[in-house]
Amino acid sequence: MPKPKLTPAAPGAGDLKIEWLEIGRIRPYPNNARVITRAAISKVAASIKQFGWQSPIVVDRDFVIIIGHVRRLAALKNHYKTVPVHVADLPPDRVKALRLADNRTHEETDWSRDSLIDELGELDALNLDLNALTGFDDDELDKILDDPLAKELAGLLGGKRRKSKAGKNGAAPDRFSVLVTCADEVQRSQLLERLSGEGLKCRVWQPLA
């Protein structure tokens, strides 16, 4: 027997219309399968304070949350009276599927450690508060930035969180790094190709303008 198909979405259901509503009008989904921690709420609350609302809370036609349970709790923590809301014009079966899919698809991605080190190193060099701005706590930052190249980058860029140091217990580091500034993209590509061909581990770092 063929599996039943989801109810087709209504015409124009993909249009993203956002309106500001009183927070009391939207309701959490009582059977939300995602466990929400206090740490997650605090980090999202801090992010909204720093950057403003960049994503709305998505609700169904009855104003029950599909996407944004943490954002609602973060807004309550920040004592906001109104929040940006998108009412999704979807049938119930698609609402239920979207609620799960949104949570599940976030688990499919992972970090590029090298790129993460570069990005955090640049922000650190600007003397920014990495905890408040990025959502990483001290233990996470220590693990990410406790890397010889991360320390070297921090030393070259003037980062305050990590400076270039010798290895553990004063021993010499087990690898050495050089940061090269190229004149243009062509030179960078040529140099990268040549050094990689010699068996050296290379990566591109793009500084902030």
Q: Which domains, ranges and CATH numbers included, belong to the chain? A: 18-107 (3.90.1530.10), 113-197 (no CATH)
Distance CA 54, CA 34 (A): 22
pTM to 2 decimals?
A: 0.65
Backbone angles phi, psi at 8, to 5 degrees: -60, 145
The rounded Cα 19 to chain-centroid distance in angstroms is 25
Q: How does DSSP classify residue 26?
A: -
pLDDT of residue 143: 77
Collapse the DSSP code of 19 into the 3-class scheme (helix H, G, I; strand E, B; otherwise coil) and give the result.
Answer: strand
Lowest-pLDDT choice from 9-13, 48-52, 180-184: 9-13
Residue 153 has pLDDT above 70, yes or no: no
Give the SS3 label for residue 147. Answer: coil
Give the integer Cα–Cα distance in Å for 158 and 151.
10
> What confidence tens digit (pLDDT) does each residue in 186-199 have?
888 888 888 888 88
DSSP secondary structure, 44-80, as one string: HHHHHHHH---SPEEE-TTSBEEE-HHHHHHHHHTT-
The residue with greater pLDDT, 64 or 207, is: 64
Residue 198 CA to residue 32 CA, distance in Å, equals 53
Q: How many residues does the chain have?
A: 209
